[in-house]
Amino acid sequence: MASKLRPHAGIAGAGVLGRLLAWRLAHAGWRVSVVDPAPDALAPARGSLFHAPHAAGFTAAGMLSPLAELDQAEPDVAALGWRSLDLWQAIARRLPARADAPQGLVRRQDSLLLAHPSDLGAAQRVLARLEAARAQDPAWPAAQPLDAEALQALEPALAPRLWGWRLPGEGQVLGPALLEALAADAPGVTWHWGRRVSEVSPHRLTLDEGQTLTVDLAIDARGLGARPENPDQAHTMSPSDPRPTLRGVRGEVVWLHAPGVPLRRPLRLLHPRHRVYLVPRPGDLVLLGASELDSEDRSPVSLRSAVELMAAAHSVIPELAEARIVHLEANLRPALPDHRPWVQHAPGWLAINGLFRHGWLLAPALVEQALTGLGLPTLAHHQEAAHA
């Protein structure tokens, strides 16, 4: 054991999962060491075309859309998303206010699902999946159809003739700011930036130069970095549980600066080729995403993806024609073949991976589930202790 007094966790990876685990454990009184190859805790600089590989959580739009994600996710996965929405709100309440998030790090009101008349079939398919989930669990909110007048009242910049549905209770996080905030508010965490973990085994992180860190709990939160570097090795994430190959799914986003274009909530357009969304960010920014390509290419955004995403955005909000393109970014989502999240633990070892396109949506619920499985206090207990 690393310590007889305060338990010590070693976390490989400082993405969404790694930082949230570090934050939770630090506030529960653990000593925590986090290792990540990134140079520091900050979001990568905007505006440059080439980035060193960095956490997918920085690139993500941060949509918390359990209803809309039923398009792809199973109802049990989406149900974890509902749980996470409450948890993110509780976490955000505990984090210090930030100037770059004047309306808070987590927002929850609703989102809109939109379709052009020619794509109504796609909309009906998503709505049917939502209704099927509601048939199993009537607690799920219903998508509310909106007529043209109601749509314009909610989002005055929308193009006419769109079909729309309000998805109540959905939300969004300001991903880059929230990642920085979690790292800044984790007392007693030792961050080892610029270092890579080659193996996570019970009670031990092995770093790239062969150095080892002996801990009470070794946590693998490396996302795609959990794959063995040698392709001849079996693609396992733990010695005891052989799992199929992790793969990266490329996603590209475009940041627009659009002063004067009102956008109040996340919009999702049902589009034949992409799952297009437009997400408002502070500073008159609109994040437009995202392609989903079965490719592990980390090179800059392609012209084709950029054109298709921007054409779709312009078709939803014509006023975006004069928006300025301020940043383009590509990254890889860590995915397993079944596109489901994967949580495993053994004495002295925990691994979470495969969050695919739902990492922000699922992380808090999965972290709570994993920590409870290890006999650690839940966030609710932790909050009661903080208020005692």
Ligand X SMILES: Cc1cc2nc3c(=O)[nH]c(=O)nc-3n(C[C@H](O)[C@H](O)[C@H](O)COP(=O)(O)OP(=O)(O)OC[C@H]3O[C@@H](n4cnc5c(N)ncnc54)[C@H](O)[C@@H]3O)c2cc1C
Stretch that binds ligand X, among 12-20, 39-47, 142-150, 158-166 (CB under 6 A): 12-20
Q: How far apart are CA 386 and CA 382, in angstroms?
A: 6
* Residue 208 DSSP one-character state: T
State yes or no: residue 171 binds ligand X (CB under 6 A). Answer: no
Q: How far apart are CA 351 and CA 200, in angstroms?
A: 9
Q: Shortest gap between Cβ of 360 and ligand X (angstroms)?
A: 3
Q: Shortest gap between Cβ of 4 and ligand X (angstroms)?
A: 27
The site map against ligand X for 38-57 (x = CB under 6 A) is: x---------------xxxx
Measured from the CB atom, is 90 or 152 closer to ligand X?
A: 90
Q: Shortest gap between Cβ of 165 and ligand X (angstroms)?
A: 18
User: Tokens 């733990």 correspond to what residue?
Assistant: 238
State yes or no: residue 271 binds ligand X (CB under 6 A). Answer: no
Contacting ligand X (CB under 6 A), which of 258, 316, 357, 371?
357
Q: Shortest gap between Cβ of 106 and ligand X (angstroms)?
A: 12
Q: What angle do CA 74, 80, 82 make, to 5 degrees?
A: 105
Whether the Cβ atoms of residue 186 and residue 22 lie closer than 8 Å to each other: yes
Contacting ligand X (CB under 6 A), which of 27, 129, 222, 243?
222
Q: Shortest gap between Cβ of 252 and ligand X (angstroms)?
A: 6
State yes or no: residue 355 binds ligand X (CB under 6 A). Answer: yes
State yes or no: residue 213 binds ligand X (CB under 6 A). Answer: no
Q: Shortest gap between Cβ of 328 and ligand X (angstroms)?
A: 11
Tokens encoding 283: 């500073």
Do β-strands 349-353 and 217-220 pair in parallel, antiparallel, or remain unpaired? parallel
Do β-strands 144-146 and 63-64 pair in parallel, antiparallel, or remain unpaired? unpaired
Contacting ligand X (CB under 6 A), which of 105, 360, 367, 379?
360
Contacting ligand X (CB under 6 A), which of 94, 196, 327, 345?
196
Measured from the CB atom, is 160 or 316 closer to ligand X?
A: 316
What radius of gyration do the chain's Cα atoms show?
Answer: 21
Whether the Cβ atoms of residue 88 and residue 173 lie closer than 8 Å to each other: yes
349: left (phi over 0), alpha (psi -120 to 50) or beta: beta
Q: Shortest gap between Cβ of 248 and ligand X (angstroms)?
A: 9
The site map against ligand X for 317-346 (x = CB under 6 A) is: --------------x-xx------------
Q: SS3 for 282?
A: coil
273: left (phi over 0), alpha (psi -120 to 50) or beta: alpha
Residue type at position 130: L
State yes or no: residue 13 binds ligand X (CB under 6 A). Answer: yes
What part of residues 51-110 is at the interface with ligand X (CB under 6 A)? 54-57, 59-63
Q: Which residues contact 184 (CB under 8 A, 6 or more apart)?
A: 41, 96
Tokens encoding 335: 């995915």
Whether the Cβ atoms of residue 195 and residue 208 lie closer than 8 Å to each other: yes
Contacting ligand X (CB under 6 A), which of 10, 164, 171, 225?
225
Measured from the CB atom, is 253 or 256 closer to ligand X?
A: 253
Stretch that binds ligand X, among 104-112, 127-135, 268-276, 358-366 (CB under 6 A): 358-366
- Three-class secondary structure assignment of 108-158: EEEEEEEECHHHHHHHHHHHHHHHHHHHHCCCCCCCEEECHHHHHHHCCCC
Residues that bind ligand X (CB under 6 A): 12-18, 35-38, 54-57, 59-63, 196-197, 221-223, 225, 251, 253, 289-290, 331, 333-334, 355-361
